[in-house]
Structure 1
Amino acid sequence: MHSVGLIGGTFDRFHAGHLSLLQSGLSECSSLEVWLTSDAATGTKDPRINPWETRAGEMREALGQDAERVSMHVLEDNHGPASTHTDASAIVCTAETRPECEIINRMRGDNGLDELAIIEAEHVLAWDGDPISSTRIRNGEIDREGLPWIPDSVREGRIILTPEVEAELKEPFGLLVPGPEDDPSVAMSEVLAHTEWEWGPIIAVGDVTVRALQDLGRPADIALVDGRTRREPWEGAEGLDPSAYDGVLHCESPAGSLTPSLLEACEHAVSSWMESRATHLIEVDGEEDLAPLLLHPLAPLDSVVLYGQPGKGVVVRWCSEEAKQRCRRLLSGFKPAD
């Protein structure tokens, strides 16, 4: 058993893989020094990475009683104190970070210190066989246990809204930005002022919402329309400009239900934006009202989902893990179509 082991990393969105890594270290070390990347360093990597205190707090909570054996420190560079540490005798890593550990050991040799024993932990795999990672969580692909956000039932066939789920959807899911019904640009201008610097895509659901963004010169990155408002044909839909988008997708989704066709279109639009920032207009044969229940689970964290609230204004919801959890739960409450 080693007296002191070292671990370094960002440890954002503390997940099952992080816990396994620490448990591997604790199984061979009496105590661990965990060096978490500083806020200054993470800010240049991905602005969605949580602050140091949040990351450290999540780690302490996940460790439970084992937290007494772990001390946490701020990592300002790639190697921290590992090359000069005189008390540590081990370092914990994964296969990807092992080369850095070998560099550290060479540096220790140059400093006249013994090499650190390298404890290599196995990856924890997500549902799809790929490793769980903070990047995948921030990109909206998986939750912290490596599970998908979209229930299998959504992929297997059309699912129908139940009265129980419908009751939960009565209240606006997000921040209501009020504005006059005859001039949606008023509310939308305020929305854009709040979302201008967000990292993720702006996703708009509904013809009036999509048209308002287009008229303001800032088309949505992903837009869903069905040619209707309040379930009636809307003449303003003729002013929608498909050429404002990099691509146009078509799908079917009858009123009061969600379909694999709609899911596939949303998945394609989100993945295209993630890969190349390509924008898409999704034209839905049926209704797009329930699409936010798919878009939140699919979208990267810090995306913005907008939809109109007739007679009231625009509802804004930032995509978060909490939003994804709520949508997954609601989707599980739908019933299969006959």
Structure 2
Amino acid sequence: MKVMVGGTFDPLHDGHKKLIERSFTIAGDGGEVVIGLSGDVFANRKSHPIRPFEERKADLVAFVENLTAEMNSNAVWKIEELHDKYGSTLDTDFDAIVVSEETFPTAVEINRLRKEKKRSKVDIHQITCVLADDGRWISSTRIWKGEIDIHGNLIK
């Protein structure tokens, strides 16, 4: 199965890790995972500073290499640069997209646009967001603000 997932992944936190791990689980042995990583221009629309693409990509590669070794996964994977919220999802053949509660509306929009282009709909797999110690979502914004760390632990 070919699975797509995307994000800015800065900093790479436990919520992101759950999203990526789920993508590999869905892809299964012999599957493929395409990880869309926001390019610098697209990423800089965020309300907090974003590290350069190559730094974020290096962190992502290290995480995925470790994850696939731990999972004993033989799924193939690649990282593609995103210049908008769709990436190649509108024109590429794939089976599923993995999203968070926060990005679910984008996946619905992708399927609507694919239908307009006479392309097949894809399965949407939504994970629940990982909660910090205070019961709120772990997010990059909260980490950059110094509220929590990448695991959702409150910073005193």
- Give 1:54's aligned residue: 55
How far did 1:69 drift? 3.4
Q: Secondary structure at the match of 2:62?
A: helix
Tell me how far apart the structure 1 counterparts of residues 67 and 147 of structure 2 sit (CA, whole Å).
31
The normalised TM-score by structure 2 is: 0.87
User: Which letter does structure 1 place at the counterpart of 2:26?
Assistant: E
How far did 1:125 drift? 0.7
Q: Secondary structure at the match of 2:98?
A: strand
- Give 1:6's aligned residue: 4
User: Which letter does structure 1 place at the counterpart of 2:46?
Assistant: K
Please list the CA deviations of residues 293-333 of structure 1 after superposition, one character each: whole Å capped at 9, or x if unmatched: xxxxxxxxxxxxxxxxxxxxxxxxxxxxxxxxxxxxxxxxx
Matched, 1:76 2:83: yes
Q: Secondary structure at the match of 1:27?
A: helix
How far did 1:24 drift? 1.1
Q: With CA pairs under 8 Å and 6+ residues apart, which has the higher RCO, 1 or 2?
A: 2
What's the C-alpha RMSD, in Å, of the aligned pairs? 1.6
- Give 1:301's aligned residue: none
- Give 2:24's aligned residue: 26
Tell me how far apart the structure 1 counterparts of residues 67 and 22 of structure 2 sit (CA, whole Å).
16
Aligned residues: 147
Residues 48 and 144 of structure 2 are in contact (CA less than 8 Å); yes or no, is this contact kept in structure 1? no
Structure 1 segment 102-117 matched on structure 2, within 5 A: 102-117=108-123
Tell me how far apart the structure 2 counterparts of residues 107 and 123 of structure 1 sit (CA, whole Å).
25
- Give 2:72's aligned residue: none
The gaps in structure 1 that reach 5 residues or longer are 151-338
Q: Mark the CA change 1:46 to 1:96 in structure 2 (over 3 Å): closer, same or farther.
A: closer
Q: Secondary structure at the match of 2:37?
A: strand
How far did 1:107 drift? 1.1
- Give 1:99's aligned residue: 105
Q: Secondary structure at the match of 1:17?
A: helix
Structure 1 segment 121-160 matched on structure 2, within 5 A: 121-150=127-156
Largest Rg, 1 or 2: 1
User: Which letter does structure 2 place at the counterpart of 1:27?
Assistant: T
User: Which letter does structure 2 place at the counterpart of 1:66?
Assistant: T
Please list the CA deviations of residues 231-261 of structure 1 after superposition, one character each: whole Å capped at 9, or x if unmatched: xxxxxxxxxxxxxxxxxxxxxxxxxxxxxxx
Taking every aligned residue pair, what percent have the same amino acid on both sides?
32
How far did 1:45 drift? 2.5
The gaps in structure 2 that reach 5 residues or longer are 70-74
Larger strand fraction of residues: 1
Tell me how far apart the structure 1 counterparts of residues 67 and 11 of structure 2 sit (CA, whole Å).
20
Residues 8 and 43 of structure 2 are in contact (CA less than 8 Å); yes or no, is this contact kept in structure 1? yes
How far did 1:65 drift? 4.8
